[in-house]
Amino acid sequence: MLSAREGDPTARAWIVERYTPAVYRFCMRFLRNEEDARDVTQETLIKVMRNLHRFDETRRFSTWVFSIARNTAIDEQRRRKRLAPEPKKEPAWDGPSPMEESSRSRRADRLHVALAELPPKYREVLVLYHFEHLKYQEIADTLEIPIGTVMNRIFRARRRLRDAYGADEYNLA
Taking alpha carbons only, the member of 115, 149, 151 closest to residue 131 is 115
* pTM for the model: 0.63
Contact 72, 36 (CB under 8 A): no
Taking alpha carbons only, the member of 121, 126, 120 closest to residue 162 is 126
> What pLDDT digit, counting tens, does each position of 8-65 carry?
889 999 999 999 999 999 999 889 889 999 999 999 999 999 999 999 888 899 999 9
pLDDT higher at 88 or 157? 157
The C-alpha R_g of the chain, in whole angstroms, comes to 18
Q: Which domains does the chain have, with CATH numbers?
A: 1-89 (1.10.1740.10), 99-168 (1.10.10.10)
Q: How far apart are CA 46 and CA 51, in angstroms?
A: 9
pLDDT in the model for residue 168: 45
pLDDT higher at 119 or 95? 119
Above pLDDT 90, what percent of the chain?
51
